[in-house]
Copies of this chain bind each other. A is one copy, B any other.
Protein backbone atom coordinates (compact mmCIF):
# COMPACT_ATOMS: atom_id res chain seq x y z
CA UNK A 1 0.00 0.00 0.00
CA UNK A 2 2.95 2.29 0.26
CA UNK A 3 3.29 4.66 -2.62
CA UNK A 4 5.94 7.02 -3.81
CA UNK A 5 3.39 9.21 -5.44
CA UNK A 6 1.64 12.20 -4.01
CA UNK A 7 -2.09 12.35 -3.67
CA UNK A 8 -2.34 13.44 -7.26
CA UNK A 9 -0.51 10.36 -8.25
CA UNK A 10 1.67 12.37 -10.52
CA UNK A 11 4.68 13.84 -8.78
CA UNK A 12 7.71 11.75 -9.29
CA UNK A 13 10.93 12.90 -7.78
CA UNK A 14 13.17 9.93 -8.07
CA UNK A 15 15.03 10.43 -4.84
CA UNK A 16 12.15 11.00 -2.53
CA UNK A 17 11.04 8.59 0.15
CA UNK A 18 7.88 6.59 -0.05
CA UNK A 19 4.75 8.04 1.33
CA UNK A 20 1.77 6.29 2.82
CA UNK A 21 -1.88 6.62 2.11
CA UNK A 22 -3.63 9.87 1.61
CA UNK A 23 -2.79 11.79 4.74
CA UNK A 24 -5.50 13.35 6.81
CA UNK A 25 -8.31 12.98 4.35
CA UNK A 26 -10.84 10.54 5.73
CA UNK A 27 -12.63 9.97 2.47
CA UNK A 28 -11.28 8.28 -0.61
CA UNK A 29 -8.71 10.65 -2.00
CA UNK A 30 -7.36 8.28 -4.59
CA UNK A 31 -8.93 10.14 -7.50
CA UNK A 32 -6.26 9.76 -10.14
CA UNK A 33 -5.86 13.04 -11.94
CA UNK A 34 -7.42 16.22 -10.62
CA UNK A 35 -8.47 18.64 -13.26
CA UNK A 36 -5.51 20.94 -12.72
CA UNK A 37 -3.08 18.10 -13.28
CA UNK A 38 -4.93 17.05 -16.39
CA UNK A 39 -4.74 20.58 -17.70
CA UNK A 40 -1.02 20.77 -17.00
CA UNK A 41 -0.44 17.50 -18.77
CA UNK A 42 -2.32 18.68 -21.80
CA UNK A 43 -0.57 22.04 -21.74
CA UNK A 44 2.82 20.37 -21.47
CA UNK A 45 2.04 17.95 -24.26
CA UNK A 46 1.01 20.75 -26.55
CA UNK A 47 3.95 22.97 -25.75
CA UNK A 48 6.64 20.30 -25.82
CA UNK A 49 5.32 18.82 -29.05
CA UNK A 50 5.05 22.23 -30.60
CA UNK A 51 8.29 23.87 -29.63
CA UNK A 52 10.42 21.20 -28.02
CA UNK A 53 11.43 20.79 -24.41
CA UNK A 54 14.08 23.46 -24.16
CA UNK A 55 12.19 26.06 -26.14
CA UNK A 56 9.22 25.68 -23.82
CA UNK A 57 9.13 27.76 -20.66
CA UNK A 58 7.35 26.86 -17.46
CA UNK A 59 5.59 30.18 -17.78
CA UNK A 60 4.22 29.04 -21.12
CA UNK A 61 3.01 25.74 -19.73
CA UNK A 62 1.37 27.45 -16.77
CA UNK A 63 -0.33 29.99 -19.01
CA UNK A 64 -1.69 27.29 -21.31
CA UNK A 65 -3.07 25.50 -18.27
CA UNK A 66 -4.63 28.72 -16.99
CA UNK A 67 -2.39 28.79 -13.97
CA UNK A 68 0.32 30.86 -12.37
CA UNK A 69 3.94 29.79 -12.97
CA UNK A 70 4.18 28.60 -9.39
CA UNK A 71 1.19 26.32 -9.82
CA UNK A 72 3.18 23.90 -11.92
CA UNK A 73 5.45 22.99 -9.03
CA UNK A 74 2.60 21.90 -6.81
CA UNK A 75 2.05 18.97 -9.12
CA UNK A 76 5.41 18.34 -10.73
CA UNK A 77 8.85 18.41 -9.23
CA UNK A 78 10.39 20.13 -12.23
CA UNK A 79 9.90 20.84 -15.89
CA UNK A 80 11.82 17.68 -16.70
CA UNK A 81 9.55 15.72 -14.40
CA UNK A 82 6.54 16.81 -16.40
CA UNK A 83 8.32 15.74 -19.57
CA UNK A 84 9.07 12.38 -18.01
CA UNK A 85 5.43 11.81 -17.10
CA UNK A 86 4.39 12.63 -20.64
CA UNK A 87 7.09 10.48 -22.16
CA UNK A 88 6.34 7.55 -19.89
CA UNK A 89 2.61 7.59 -20.51
CA UNK A 90 3.22 8.00 -24.22
CA UNK A 91 5.55 5.03 -24.40
CA UNK A 92 3.17 2.92 -22.34
CA UNK A 93 0.30 3.79 -24.63
CA UNK A 94 2.33 3.09 -27.76
CA UNK A 95 3.30 -0.30 -26.38
CA UNK A 96 -0.31 -1.09 -25.49
CA UNK A 97 -1.40 -0.23 -29.00
CA UNK A 98 1.17 -2.59 -30.47
CA UNK A 99 0.38 -5.40 -28.08
CA UNK A 100 -3.33 -5.13 -28.69
CA UNK A 101 -2.78 -5.16 -32.44
CA UNK A 102 -0.60 -8.24 -32.31
CA UNK A 103 -3.04 -10.11 -30.08
CA UNK A 104 -5.96 -9.56 -32.39
CA UNK A 105 -5.05 -12.19 -34.97
CA UNK A 106 -2.82 -15.24 -35.10
CA UNK A 107 -1.04 -15.45 -38.45
CA UNK A 108 2.10 -13.35 -39.01
CA UNK A 109 0.91 -11.54 -42.15
CA UNK A 110 -2.24 -10.38 -40.40
CA UNK A 111 -0.28 -9.55 -37.30
CA UNK A 112 2.23 -7.48 -39.25
CA UNK A 113 -0.51 -5.65 -41.12
CA UNK A 114 -2.31 -4.91 -37.87
CA UNK A 115 0.63 -3.70 -35.83
CA UNK A 116 1.93 -1.49 -38.61
CA UNK A 117 -1.52 -0.11 -39.39
CA UNK A 118 -2.39 0.62 -35.78
CA UNK A 119 1.02 1.98 -34.94
CA UNK A 120 1.07 4.32 -37.92
CA UNK A 121 -2.47 5.42 -37.20
CA UNK A 122 -1.59 6.07 -33.59
CA UNK A 123 1.36 8.21 -34.62
CA UNK A 124 -0.99 10.32 -36.72
CA UNK A 125 -3.88 10.59 -34.28
CA UNK A 126 -1.63 11.26 -31.31
CA UNK A 127 1.12 13.04 -33.15
CA UNK A 128 1.81 15.40 -30.26
CA UNK A 129 2.37 12.61 -27.79
CA UNK A 130 4.29 10.69 -30.42
CA UNK A 131 6.58 13.62 -31.07
CA UNK A 132 7.36 13.86 -27.40
CA UNK A 133 7.99 10.13 -27.28
CA UNK A 134 10.34 10.23 -30.26
CA UNK A 135 12.00 13.62 -30.26
CA UNK A 136 12.16 14.66 -26.63
CA UNK A 137 13.51 11.33 -25.43
CA UNK A 138 17.12 12.59 -25.50
CA UNK A 139 16.20 15.45 -23.18
CA UNK A 140 15.12 13.21 -20.33
CA UNK A 141 17.46 12.88 -17.39
CA UNK A 142 19.69 9.81 -17.62
CA UNK A 143 17.66 8.05 -14.93
CA UNK A 144 14.37 8.72 -16.62
CA UNK A 145 15.82 7.76 -19.96
CA UNK A 146 16.70 4.37 -18.57
CA UNK A 147 13.15 3.81 -17.41
CA UNK A 148 11.71 4.67 -20.78
CA UNK A 149 14.37 2.76 -22.65
CA UNK A 150 12.94 -0.51 -21.43
CA UNK A 151 9.62 0.28 -23.01
CA UNK A 152 11.35 1.21 -26.24
CA UNK A 153 13.06 -2.13 -26.32
CA UNK A 154 9.72 -3.85 -25.77
CA UNK A 155 8.30 -1.99 -28.73
CA UNK A 156 11.18 -3.11 -30.91
CA UNK A 157 10.83 -6.68 -29.68
CA UNK A 158 7.19 -6.90 -30.71
CA UNK A 159 7.89 -5.94 -34.30
CA UNK A 160 10.94 -8.14 -34.48
CA UNK A 161 8.96 -11.03 -33.02
CA UNK A 162 6.29 -10.83 -35.68
CA UNK A 163 8.90 -10.72 -38.44
CA UNK A 164 10.71 -13.71 -36.99
CA UNK A 165 7.47 -15.64 -36.69
CA UNK A 166 6.64 -14.85 -40.30
CA UNK A 167 10.03 -16.03 -41.47
CA UNK A 168 9.56 -19.21 -39.46
CA UNK A 169 6.15 -19.90 -40.95
CA UNK A 170 7.41 -19.20 -44.45
CA UNK A 171 5.10 -16.27 -44.93
CA UNK A 172 7.91 -13.75 -45.06
CA UNK A 173 11.29 -13.52 -46.67
CA UNK A 174 13.45 -11.16 -44.68
CA UNK A 175 17.21 -11.19 -45.25
CA UNK A 176 17.91 -8.98 -42.27
CA UNK A 177 15.35 -9.11 -39.47
CA UNK A 178 16.81 -6.45 -37.15
CA UNK A 179 17.42 -4.13 -40.08
CA UNK A 180 13.94 -4.57 -41.44
CA UNK A 181 12.47 -4.10 -37.97
CA UNK A 182 14.27 -0.81 -37.75
CA UNK A 183 13.18 0.27 -41.22
CA UNK A 184 9.53 -0.51 -40.44
CA UNK A 185 9.70 1.41 -37.20
CA UNK A 186 11.42 4.31 -38.95
CA UNK A 187 8.64 4.56 -41.48
CA UNK A 188 5.82 4.48 -38.96
CA UNK A 189 7.48 6.67 -36.36
CA UNK A 190 8.19 9.31 -38.96
CA UNK A 191 4.47 9.74 -39.44
CA UNK A 192 4.49 11.82 -36.28
CA UNK A 193 6.92 14.23 -37.89
CA UNK A 194 5.01 15.04 -41.05
CA UNK A 195 1.43 14.46 -40.00
CA UNK A 196 -0.73 17.40 -39.13
CA UNK A 197 -4.49 17.66 -38.78
CA UNK A 198 -6.31 18.73 -41.87
CA UNK A 199 -3.89 16.96 -44.15
CA UNK A 200 -5.17 15.10 -47.19
CA UNK A 201 -4.76 11.61 -45.73
CA UNK A 202 -6.69 10.48 -42.69
CA UNK A 203 -4.95 8.56 -39.89
CA UNK A 204 -6.92 5.48 -40.83
CA UNK A 205 -5.87 5.69 -44.46
CA UNK A 206 -2.26 6.19 -43.44
CA UNK A 207 -2.44 3.06 -41.34
CA UNK A 208 -3.85 1.04 -44.20
CA UNK A 209 -1.24 2.34 -46.63
CA UNK A 210 1.64 1.54 -44.32
CA UNK A 211 0.33 -1.94 -43.63
CA UNK A 212 0.43 -2.59 -47.35
CA UNK A 213 3.95 -1.19 -47.63
CA UNK A 214 5.06 -3.43 -44.79
CA UNK A 215 3.65 -6.53 -46.47
CA UNK A 216 5.30 -5.59 -49.76
CA UNK A 217 8.57 -5.27 -47.94
CA UNK A 218 8.56 -8.79 -46.52
CA UNK A 219 6.85 -10.87 -49.19
CA UNK A 220 8.97 -13.70 -50.58
- A interface residues, Cβ below 8 angstroms from B: 52-55, 135, 138-139, 175-176, 179-180, 182-183, 186-187, 189-191, 193-194, 201, 209-210, 212-213, 216-219
What is the bound-complex CA distance between A216 and B179, given in angstroms?
Answer: 14
Q: Given the complex, which residues of B lie within 8 Å of A194, measured CB to CB? A: 182
When the two chains form their complex, are residues A176 and B55 in contact, meaning their CB atoms are under 8 A apart?
Answer: no
Q: Given the complex, which residues of B lie within 8 Å of A187, measured CB to CB? A: 183, 186-187, 190
What is the bound-complex CA distance between A31 and B68, given in angstroms?
Answer: 54
When the two chains form their complex, are residues B186 and A190 in contact, meaning their CB atoms are under 8 A apart?
Answer: yes
Q: Given the complex, which residues of B lie within 8 Å of A193, measured CB to CB? A: 186
Can you give 25 A-B contacts (C-beta < 8 A)? A52-B52, A52-B54, A52-B138, A54-B54, A55-B139, A175-B212, A176-B209, A179-B201, A179-B209, A180-B213, A182-B190, A183-B187, A183-B210, A183-B213, A186-B186, A186-B187, A186-B189, A186-B191, A187-B187, A187-B190, A189-B190, A190-B190, A216-B218, A216-B219, A217-B217
